[in-house]
């Protein structure tokens, strides 16, 4: 890997990228860091608080309209989101930050919050703020569209910069959810991204509502159902996905899984099959997948028998996958041709 350049961290399918100051001339590192982290966080000024050159790395990726990142910095410094930079950035994100090592000091709207390892908070990237790093630090963060997270009933006023625990209650669930989602990104199918993003937003919103006293915490079963759905969404392509695997990941018995999922009005097995069929239907009607066979699409979403897939598909949608594709064949051919022409 060529140090210092923004590059793929794993394989191309993972979509995880790395920004690192390794190999960058010490006198150029601050400018390099400001320029290459701007697409992720927006423009920030970096102020070094020692004579040591800046040293840091940033892994980042997108899941639907969320931006996940893991940042490591090794020297004292301060980043500043000025009023000017905030106004020039047309994006409206709320940033959730989970401190996994070291400490940091956030300043926004006249509030100063010191975070230590094991704590998390949120703040508004559309407003000026500063974050001071007194020593080495490691943090996970997720940028979420403001309107999706807050909606009409949640006001960020009073929540921004509030120190929240990551070792109990909903804070603990959020911590595990975001950490696991980042680690599972290589296995998350593109078609599952919206589901994963929705669960992350929903759980973060519930945690914020609970911390503000505006909403009671969901019971443990509801929280576990969300974790089950996230795990399923991340592993739909696995033909061996089973109740045993889900129970092991959730840390409970298969019997308890069934009991928890009763509120959905559908069994876990039927839920998995429905999700797989929905994703297959999307791909069958996706011009970008027009070159793929029906069997290839079915197998990519965890089916291991084309006959079984066809029977389930017809039962769910009233037509076989072959008939559905034939019905939309002229439109798919035209759209596929447009896509190929746009790439030339």
pLDDT digits over 288-307, tens only?
A: 888 899 999 999 999 999 99
* Residue 1 pLDDT level (bands cut at 50, 70, 90): very low
Q: What are the tens digits of pLDDT across the range 216-240?
A: 445 567 778 888 888 898 899 999 9
pLDDT score of 222: 77
Q: Which residue has the higher pLDDT, 203 or 122?
A: 122
What mean pLDDT comes out for the span 246-264? 86
The more confidently predicted of residues 10 and 154 is 154
Structure tokens at 147: 């309107």
Q: Does domain 7-265 have CATH number 3.90.25.10?
A: no
Bigger pLDDT: 101 vs 8? 101
152 closest CA partner among 203, 209, 232: 209
pLDDT value at position 321?
93
Question: Do 61 and 18 form a contact (C-beta atoms < 8 A)?
Answer: no
CA 2 to chain centre: 27
Which has more confidence, 291 or 121?
Answer: 121
Domain regions of the chain by residue span? 7-265
- Report the first-to-last Cα separation within the chain, whole angstroms: 29
User: Mean pLDDT score of the chain, rounded to an integer?
Assistant: 86
Q: Is the pLDDT of residue 13 over 70?
A: no
136-190 residue pLDDT tens: 999 999 999 998 898 766 778 778 888 999 988 888 888 888 888 888 777 776 6
Cβ atoms of 260 and 221 closer than 8 Å: yes
Q: What does the pLDDT read at residue 209?
A: 81
Average of per-residue pLDDT across 212-216: 54
State the Cα–Cα distance between residues 260 and 103, nearest whole angstrom. Answer: 38
239 DSSP 8-state letter? T
Range with the lowest mean pLDDT among 2-11, 109-118, 189-198, 265-274?
2-11
Kindly tell me if the per-residue pLDDT of 247 is higher than 70: yes
pLDDT greater than 90 at residue 73: yes
What is the distance of C-alpha 283 from the center of its chain? 22
**Which among 303, 304, 310 has a CA at the least distance from the CA of 276?**
303
pLDDT of residue 103: 95
The pLDDT tens digits for 293-344 are: 999 999 999 999 999 999 999 999 999 999 988 888 777 677 666 656 665 5
Strand, helix or coil for residue 186: helix
Question: If you compute the radius of gyration of the chain from its CA atoms, what whole number of angstroms results?
Answer: 23
**pLDDT, tens only, 77-91:** 999 999 999 989 888
Q: Structure tokens of 34?
A: 């400001």
Return the bridge partners of 73, or none. Answer: 56, 137
Query: What was the pLDDT predicted at 10?
Result: 37
> Which residues fall within 8 angstroms of residue 105, CB to CB, at 6 or more apart?
112, 113, 114, 115, 131, 132, 134
pLDDT for 271: 94
Q: Report pLDDT for 8.
A: 39
C-alpha distances out from residue 276 to 135, 169, 174, Å: 46, 32, 26
């Amino acid at each position: 890997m060529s140090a210092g350049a923004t590059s793929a961290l794993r394989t191309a399918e993972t979509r995880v990228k790395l920004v690192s100051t390794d190999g960058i001339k010490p006198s150029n590192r601050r400018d390099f860091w400001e320029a290459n982290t701007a697409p992720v966080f927006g423009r920030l000024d970096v102020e070094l608080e020692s004579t040591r050159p800046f040293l840091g790395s940033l892994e980042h990726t997108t899941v639907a309209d969320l931006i996940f990142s893991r940042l490591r910095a090794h020297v004292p410094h301060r980043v500043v989101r000025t009023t000017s930079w905030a106004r020039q950035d047309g994006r409206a994100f709320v940033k959730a930050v989970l401190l996994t090592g070291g400490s940091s000091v956030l300043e926004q709207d006249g509030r100063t919050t010191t975070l230590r390892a094991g704590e998390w908070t949120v703040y508004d990237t559309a407003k000026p703020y500063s974050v001071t790093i007194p020593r080495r630090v490691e943090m996970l963060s997720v940028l979420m569209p403001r309107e999706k997270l807050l909606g009409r009933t949640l006001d960020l006023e009073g929540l921004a910069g509030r120190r929240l625990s990551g070792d109990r209650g909903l804070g603990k669930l959020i911590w595990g959810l975001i950490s696991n989602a980042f680690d599972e990104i290589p296995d998350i199918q593109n078609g599952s991204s919206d589901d994963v993003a929705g669960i992350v937003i929903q759980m973060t919103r519930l945690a914020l509502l609970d911390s503000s006293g505006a909403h009671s915490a969901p019971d443990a079963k509801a929280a576990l159902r969300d974790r089950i759905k996230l795990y399923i969404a991340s592993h739909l392509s696995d033909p061996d996905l089973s109740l045993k695997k889900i129970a092991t990941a959730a840390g409970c018995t298969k019997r308890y899984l069934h009991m928890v999922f009763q509120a959905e009005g559908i069994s876990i097995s039927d839920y998995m099959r429905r999700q797989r069929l929905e994703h297959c239907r999307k791909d069958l009607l996706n011009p970008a997948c027009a070159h793929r066979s029906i069997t290839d699409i079915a197998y990519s979403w965890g089916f291991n028998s084309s006959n079984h897939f066809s029977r389930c598909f017809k039962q769910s949608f009233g037509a076989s996958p072959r008939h559905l594709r034939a019905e939309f064949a002229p439109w798919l051919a035209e759209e596929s041709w447009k896509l190929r022409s746009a790439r030339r």
